[in-house]
Chains A and B, each alone.
Chain A
Amino acid sequence: MKKFLYKVIGMSLLTIGVLGLSTFINYMLSNYDDSLRMKKNINTLILGDSHTKYALNDNILNDTYNLSQNADSYFDSYLKLKQVDKINPQLDTVFLSFSQHNIHKCIENRWLLNPAHLRDRLKLYTPFLGAEECLFLLEKRPEEFITGLFNQIQYPINFLFNNDDLFGGYDELEHNILKQEIENQKKNGIRQEYKSFNDAPLELKYLKKIVKYCNENNITLILINPPLHKSLQNKQDGLYKFYKKNFSNIPFLDFSKIAMKDSCFGDMVHLNPSGSKYFSKLIKQEDLFNINHARAHNFLHE
């Protein structure tokens, strides 16, 4: 029995040892990951999900670095923010996607708490996890957390054969389904996250952590709500109440009601390349990332 127990414990320790070594190597590698490194003259970071990813073209807004990624929850953004800040000391401003779906319970279940989503994200983000995040995942999604720990072994491959889009970045939206979505909305009603509002407690928790992190590290945080199709513009009461209740001291640039033609949208919530070009140019020309200018143009939600 002793021999058996020694062997089982030995094998378990070996597995954990390899895991620890791979985490350490990945942690070191992530400090040199170019996809997380901003140019020296850029000190503004854009984080968030597909809304900011497809809306804000950082080739036009060339004093910003867009690292938004499809379906990034605030938990994902928090991990990314900490790592980007660590290797980019010049970072001083963060624009963060803040739309109704970001803080809606149904999206929390679809993204943050979705096992497949977590497994996919942890392949990349495991080296960025702190003790608190590990405990959070162990409590909420233990199987995905453990799988994620093992999955990070793939990170060096990603690092070596660097895929620029791995952590996010501006991209051109490929689909064009606005007409179908309008038809669909007529038939089946408005999409769930704009129909009724149930706030997402875990997303709230990590959004608050982002706020706290920015405060502690002298980073200006600005919430941003990209343009929405006109049929959804007046369905955001949940968002505004949530903002007023929790984050009214954080600047909030609300571009959701900006008048844009249907031809600018790939679907009801995402801008297509021409929409993104128009929107990014507008921000650049009017200097709308400047709070005072945004206020003057009525884009600052107060």
Chain B
Amino acid sequence: MLFNSIDFALFLPIVFVLYWFVTNRNLKLQNFLLVVASYLFYGWWDWRFLSLILFSTIVDYSIGRKLGVENNHNKRKILLWASILVNLGFLGFFKYYNFFLDNFIAAFSFFGAEIKANSLNIILPVGISFYTFQTLSYTIDVYKRKLEPTKDLIAFTAFVSFFPQLVAGPIERATHLLPQFYKKRTFDYSKAADGMRQILWGLFKKIVIADNCAEFANQIFNNSADFNGSTLVLGALFFTFQIYGDFSGYSDIAIGTSRLFGFDLMRNFNFPYFSRDIAEFWRRWHISLSTWFRDYLYIPLGGSRGGTWMKIRNTFIIFIVSGFWHGANWTFIAWGTLNAIYFLPLLITKNNRNHLDTVALGKYLPSAKEAFSMLFTFGLTVFAWIFFRANSIKHAFSYISEIFSTSLFELPKFDDMRSASITTMLVLIFVLAEWFGRERQFALAFKESNSMKESILRKIVYLIIIYSIFVFGGTQQDFIYFQF
């Protein structure tokens, strides 16, 4: 079920009413309702893959219980690896099987050995990378004794399949989300009202910004040979805002929806395009994944302890794995590697934690230095997105080489210049809204006040956003991160 669909617009109020008015007196029943709703939400897309989630849930629940009573170190390790193998096994098969097969065949044929093998026609289950990492965090935390294994199967099933964040995150830690299923939730007006605002802003980002940018980004990237350098630059910029609007919009809707049900999810985006260096960008972009890799991969590998070479190795590993997590294509690996290269100078010179605050805090405008740093970082990010969006490495290089040609100085060309201009205007308005809202959790996170004037102003803003969603909404597109 898509968040930006009529199905979800009907589904959400029904679940909300059942949750707060029918099952509210019994915590187990309320959790069970969330499980049913979540399975329905997921099954709406393809019910066959529900068995995969159910299997992962049962495996991790059982292993968690065993880890809770097992004290033998070796046996505990075996249990942990069993969970990792099952979860990553599914992920590996569905997501990476064909990639590895094709590359093995290519590698062997390079050395003159012919291997006959057929690729499989595998459908990638939506959100598999997200819920796999979420369940893994549970087993790892139980193994490390950071978390008591749960005895409540319904709560655990609800934690794994919680519908707002099931298919595209934020990837929650068991230590943060699971305990919320044990406690009775009470309705909190300001939390729910804030949730509604976040849903509205998320829908705006997805439908108005991402879907409109997608039309041009797709047109330009899919026919890049037909466009001049300046149009290709705009194509990369459109994709830059598409992916941000799409993914952060999804996260906003997920977080907002959770708040309606009394849950707090972790923040996933913190105005990343206003970052002053790449290290700051990575503290603000897809935070739940970055911190997941930091906690479960980077730190176990030694983190920033050890010598310079160790730091460089670990940085490359985490960025490359992060790229590969996005998809079975060399383009994602190139994107990850490029980001590691961007990050390295900051790490070596120990400047990777220079910008921990919000840019131009308490001011309307940034200083010239801050503006330059933001633009430079933004430029690096846009450049890296070309690899992320391109169909192949070859395509990325031909795209970039056309940008750096004399055609860069020609005027951009679009089939529909009017729509391109409107989309550009919308993006500029969006950037301004984000800039002025950057000190809040999300741009539309207004504080409730009793002032009549402010209340009317707020309602006008909501109406403008609601109407913009319908009037300027682009053609419905799937969420990009569903494919990951």
State the A residues within 8 Å of B (CB).
Answer: 1, 3-4, 7-8, 11, 14-15, 18, 115-116, 142-143, 146-147, 149-151, 153-154
Roughly how many angstroms separate A142 CA and B434 CA in the complex, as a whole number? 32
Q: Which of B56-64, B132-140, B185-193, B402-410 contacts A (4 or more CB under 8 A)?
A: B185-193
**Would you call B462 and A151 a contact (CB within 8 A)?**
no
**Across-interface contacts of A3 in B (CB, < 8 A):** 189
Judged by a CB distance under 8 angstroms, whether B6 is at the interface is yes
**Would you call B6 and A153 a contact (CB within 8 A)?**
no
Roughly how many angstroms separate A7 CA and B260 CA in the complex, as a whole number? 14
**Across-interface contacts of A146 in B (CB, < 8 A):** 6, 470
Smallest distance from the beta carbon of B456 to chain A beta carbons, Å? 11
**Would you call B470 and A4 a contact (CB within 8 A)?**
no
A18, A115, A116, A154: the one within 8 Å of B471 (CB): A154
Known: A11-B462, A14-B463, A15-B466. A1 touches B187 (CB 8 A): yes
**Across-interface contacts of A151 in B (CB, < 8 A):** 470-471
B5, B189, B459, B467: the one within 8 Å of A1 (CB): B189
**Across-interface contacts of A11 in B (CB, < 8 A):** 459, 462
Roughly how many angstroms separate A147 CA and B471 CA in the complex, as a whole number? 7
Q: How many residues of B contact A (CB 8 A)?
A: 19
**Across-interface contacts of B193 in A (CB, < 8 A):** 4, 7
Roughly how many angstroms separate A143 CA and B211 CA in the complex, as a whole number? 15
A7, A15, A115, A143: the one within 8 Å of B6 (CB): A143
Judged by a CB distance under 8 angstroms, whether B473 is at the interface is yes
- Interface 0/1 of B451-484, CB less than 8 Å to A: 0000000010011001101110101100000000
**Would you call B6 and A142 a contact (CB within 8 A)?**
yes
Judged by a CB distance under 8 angstroms, whether B196 is at the interface is yes
Could you list 11 further interchain pairs (A-B, Cβ under 8 angstroms) beyond the known A14-B459, A150-B466?
A: A1-B187, A4-B189, A4-B193, A15-B463, A115-B476, A143-B5, A143-B476, A146-B6, A147-B473, A150-B471, A153-B467
Judged by a CB distance under 8 angstroms, whether B20 is at the interface is yes
**Would you call B463 and A18 a contact (CB within 8 A)?**
yes
Smallest distance from the beta carbon of A137 to chain B beta carbons, Å? 13
Number of cross-chain contacts by CB at 8 Å: 40
Roughly how many angstroms separate A146 CA and B6 CA in the complex, as a whole number? 10
**Would you call A153 and B20 a contact (CB within 8 A)?**
no
* Complex A-B: 16 CB contacts under 8 Å: A1-B20, A4-B187, A4-B189, A8-B196, A11-B459, A14-B459, A15-B466, A116-B475, A143-B6, A143-B476, A146-B470, A147-B470, A150-B467, A150-B469, A150-B471, A153-B467
Smallest distance from the beta carbon of A21 to chain B beta carbons, Å? 12
Smallest distance from the beta carbon of B72 to chain A beta carbons, Å? 50
State the B residues within 8 Å of A (CB).
Answer: 5-6, 20, 187, 189, 192-193, 196, 459, 462-463, 466-467, 469-471, 473, 475-476
Roughly how many angstroms separate A3 CA and B193 CA in the complex, as a whole number? 10
Roughly how many angstroms separate A116 CA and B462 CA in the complex, as a whole number? 26
**Across-interface contacts of B192 in A (CB, < 8 A):** 4
4 nearest A-B residue pairs (beta carbon):
A150-B470, A1-B187, A4-B192, A147-B470
Smallest distance from the beta carbon of A241 to chain B beta carbons, Å? 37
Residue of A nearest to B472 (CB): A151
Roughly how many angstroms separate A18 CA and B470 CA in the complex, as a whole number? 14
Roughly how many angstroms separate A11 CA and B199 CA in the complex, as a whole number? 14
**Across-interface contacts of B476 in A (CB, < 8 A):** 115, 143
Roughly how many angstroms separate A39 CA and B471 CA in the complex, as a whole number? 33
Residue of B nearest to A149 (CB): B470
Residue of A nearest to B24 (CB): A1
Residue of B nearest to A18 (CB): B463
**Across-interface contacts of B189 in A (CB, < 8 A):** 1, 3-4
**Across-interface contacts of A154 in B (CB, < 8 A):** 471
Roughly how many angstroms separate A115 CA and B473 CA in the complex, as a whole number? 13
Roughly how many angstroms separate A195 CA and B466 CA in the complex, as a whole number? 45
Residue of B nearest to A148 (CB): B470
**Across-interface contacts of A116 in B (CB, < 8 A):** 475
**Across-interface contacts of A147 in B (CB, < 8 A):** 470, 473
Give the residue among B5, B463, B467 with the most A Cβ atoms within 10 A: B467
**Would you call B196 and A153 a contact (CB within 8 A)?**
no
**Across-interface contacts of B466 in A (CB, < 8 A):** 15, 150
Roughly how many angstroms separate A154 CA and B473 CA in the complex, as a whole number? 13
Roughly how many angstroms separate A1 CA and B261 CA in the complex, as a whole number? 12
Roughly how many angstroms separate A116 CA and B475 CA in the complex, as a whole number? 7
Roughly how many angstroms separate A153 CA and B473 CA in the complex, as a whole number? 14
**Across-interface contacts of A149 in B (CB, < 8 A):** 470
**Across-interface contacts of B5 in A (CB, < 8 A):** 143
Roughly how many angstroms separate A219 CA and B273 CA in the complex, as a whole number? 62
Smallest distance from the beta carbon of A159 to chain B beta carbons, Å? 16
